């Protein structure tokens, strides 16, 4: 996957210190040049059977790999759980965004601001969706688990080319659909990547993304404990995660 390979090419190596694979979230701790960093990603494809296809060959020895070696798991297509570890590892290897570049605005705030009087599509069913319906002109929500007013994910080719704002779950980095979704967006559309799996990398800006809405871990030990104890994102957030947004230079210039 070229996008992930470009991001992998820009990160320095690190020593793997800890890996936690929770029911909902995966966390990886790296020592990068003496600095402990922790990265998050959604846990996808958690095995629930005893068949060989669920056997994780690396179980019990993941910390023996180098940082870049497990970060490369992000390109894995057959075992989504490996891709989850890989994206969390990339998040740990990437430095936190510089404080001066961070906006303390949530994804919901950014989508509402950018979507005012505009047509908005959200790929991924987030808890804040219901709050947005009254704040934008038109809202389409797509998900792998459609229900009610939520459309199936395969409706993306019918929706994304015709809206003004597209918010894409960062889980699409793990299931390798990000580039396909970006390709469906029309020129000039505002694109927002959303979720704790978001990689704070300028490479994404090069693919047309305007805003990266992700997370910075401020209390590593509490977050690791919550991940290990099957915490949902609200609990992970309360344990010590700050939601931040960074914007591309083009997006910043357009708001001046």
Torsional class of 173: left (φ above 0), alpha (ψ -120 to 50), beta (otherwise): alpha
Question: What's this model's pTM, rounded to 2 decimal places?
Answer: 0.93
User: Kindly report the CA angle at 213 between 173 and 107, in degrees rounded to 5?
Assistant: 115
Using CA atoms, how far apart are residues 222 and 133, in angstroms rounded to an integer?
34
Identify whether the C-beta of residue 145 lies closer than 8 Å to the C-beta of residue 127: no
Q: What pLDDT, on the 0 to 100 scale, is given for residue 79? A: 87
Ranges of H-type helices in the chain:
2-10, 67-71, 80-93, 107-114, 129-132, 156-159, 171-174, 178-184, 202-206, 220-228, 233-240, 249-255
Rounded CA Rg of the chain: 18
Identify whether the C-beta of residue 211 lies closer than 8 Å to the C-beta of residue 247: yes
Q: What pLDDT, on the 0 to 100 scale, is given for residue 256? A: 44
Domains of the chain listed by start with CATH number: 2-93 (3.30.390.100), 99-220+239-255 (3.40.50.11590)
Cα 249 to its chain centre, rounded Å, is 20
- Edge-to-edge strand ranges of the sheet holding 35-42: 15-21, 25-32, 35-42
Q: What pLDDT, on the 0 to 100 scale, is given for residue 69? A: 96
Using CA atoms, how far apart are residues 180 and 254, in angstroms rounded to an integer?
26
| pLDDT tens across the length of the chain (256 residues) | 589 999 999 999 999 999 999 999 999 999 999 999 999 999 997 666 555 555 677 877 888 899 999 999 999 998 899 999 999 999 999 999 988 888 988 899 999 999 999 999 999 989 899 889 889 999 999 999 898 889 999 999 999 999 999 999 999 999 999 999 999 999 999 999 999 999 999 999 999 999 999 999 999 999 999 999 999 989 999 999 999 999 997 765 655 4
Q: What pLDDT, on the 0 to 100 scale, is given for residue 8? A: 96
Q: What pLDDT, on the 0 to 100 scale, is given for residue 1? A: 56
Q: Name the nearest CA neighbour of 228 among 45, 19, 13, 15.
A: 19
Identify whether the C-beta of residue 126 lies closer than 8 Å to the C-beta of residue 106: no
Identify whether the C-beta of residue 166 lies closer than 8 Å to the C-beta of residue 141: no
Please report which helix (H) or strand (E) contains residue 42, including its range.
strand 35-42
Quote the tokens at residue 90: 């990339």
Quote the tokens at residue 234: 């609200």
**CA distances (Å), origin 59, targets 20, 55, 85, 236:** 11, 8, 12, 24
Q: Name the nearest CA neighbour of 121 among 105, 137, 109.
A: 137
């Amino acid at each position: 996957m070229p996008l992930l390979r470009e991001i992998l090419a820009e990160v320095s190596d690190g020593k793997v210190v800890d890996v936690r694979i929770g029911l909902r979230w995966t966390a990886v701790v790296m020592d990068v040049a003496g600095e402990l960093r922790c990265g998050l990603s959604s846990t996808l494809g958690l095995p629930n059977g005893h068949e060989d296809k669920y056997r994780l060959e690396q179980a019990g020895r993941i910390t023996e790999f180098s940082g870049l070696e497990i970060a490369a798991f992000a390109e894995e297509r057959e075992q989504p759980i490996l891709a989850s570890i890989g994206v969390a590892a990339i998040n740990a290897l990437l430095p936190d965004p510089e404080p001066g570049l961070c906006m303390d605005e949530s994804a919901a705030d950014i989508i509402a601001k950018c979507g005012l009087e505009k047509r908005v599509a959200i790929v991924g069913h987030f808890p804040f969706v219901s709050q947005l319906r009254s704040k934008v002109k038109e809202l389409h929500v797509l998900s792998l688990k459609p229900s009610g007013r939520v459309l199936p994910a395969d409706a993306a080719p019918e929706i994304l080319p015709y809206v003004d704002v597209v918010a894409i779950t960062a889980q699409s980095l793990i299931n390798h659909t990000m580039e396909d979704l970006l390709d469906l967006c029309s020129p000039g559309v505002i694109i927002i990547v959303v979720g704790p799996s978001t990689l704070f990398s300028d490479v994404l800006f090069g693919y047309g993304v305007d805003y990266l809405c992700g997370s910075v871990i401020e209390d590593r030990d509490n977050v690791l404990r919550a991940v290990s104890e099957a915490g949902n994102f609200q609990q992970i957030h309360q344990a010590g995660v700050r939601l931040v947004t960074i914007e591309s230079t083009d997006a910043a210039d357009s708001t001046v």
